[in-house]
Amino acid sequence: MRKFIMDKYNLIAFAIGLIPTILLYLFPPDAAVPFWAFSIVLFFLLIAIWMCAKLWLESKNDKAVPTISIIECSHNVCICKTHDFITYNSIVTFYKKDGNFEKLIGFGLVETINSGGKSAQIRIVPGDMRSKNQVSASEISDFVSYINDNKNNIIVRPTITSDIVPYIYKILNQEVSNE
């Protein structure tokens, strides 16, 4: 509730709604409204319209496919900035930018999201290895160093495709049976 009250857009909307209320209270119903009062209300109405348009345009840009920023990777885990679309135990995909194309290079399982909500710990599974049964430790360490060396060309997305789901399920079941 505190976030809702302290949000700048909600405070501005409240202030803009409060101004006409005060003006209507000050002037009796049968009195003519002075031009200065009408000008103030019109000015704040235009500001409200401008802010609504700006908010709409900003929300329109947020509908693009989300990406997650990588902070660092080590010990088979990537620390990434959090995003609204990832939660505990969700699966993310790692892609390498290659010109205008993106190549799938691996997956990750979100293990933890820190209490401040600033970073997420993602356990990585390298490669598009649909034909392989096991992932070796050397492949994972090579993948971690590859991500660290190419952070600017790696895209982490909180989405997976339906054809990859059985493959991920197979890998996760193998890891559970190995523990």
Please report the pLDDT score of residue 78 as a whole number: 87
Label residue 134 by pLDDT band (50, 70, 90). Answer: very low
- Which CB contacts under 8 angstroms, 24+ apart, belong to 166-172? 167/130, 168/91, 168/107, 168/125, 171/107, 171/125, 171/135, 172/109
Q: Give the pLDDT of residue 129.
A: 45
pLDDT bin (cut points 50, 70, 90) of residue 130 is very low
The pairs formed by 74-79 with CB atoms below 8 angstroms and a separation of 24 or more are 74/144, 74/148, 75/144, 76/123, 76/124, 76/140, 76/141, 76/144, 77/111, 77/121, 77/122, 77/123, 77/124, 78/108, 78/121, 78/122, 78/124, 78/144, 78/147, 78/156, 79/119, 79/120, 79/121, 79/122
Task: Work out the average pLDDT over 144-155.
Answer: 84
Q: What are all long-range contacts of 126-132, with beta carbons under 8 Å and residues at least 24 apart? A: 128/104, 130/167
Q: Rounded distance, CA 116 to CA 93, Å?
A: 23
Q: What is the mean pLDDT of residues 41-55?
A: 83
Cβ atoms of residues 143 and 127 within 8 Å: yes
Query: Given pLDDT bands bounded at 50, 70 and 90, which one contains residue 131?
Result: very low
Rounded to whole angstroms, what are the CA distances from 54 to 37, 51, 57, 65? 26, 5, 5, 20
Geometric angle at alpha carbon 163, from 160 and 169, rounded to 5° = 75
Choose the weakest-confidence range: 14-23, 113-122, 126-135, 162-171: 126-135
pTM to 2 decimal places: 0.55
Tell me the mean pLDDT in the region 126-149. Answer: 63
**Contact residues for 85 (Cβ-Cβ < 8 A; gap 6+):** 66, 158, 159
Q: Tell me what percent of the residues of the chain surpass a pLDDT of 90.
A: 0
Cα separation, 147 vs 150, in Å, equals 5
**Minimum mean pLDDT range among 27-31, 69-73, 99-103:** 27-31
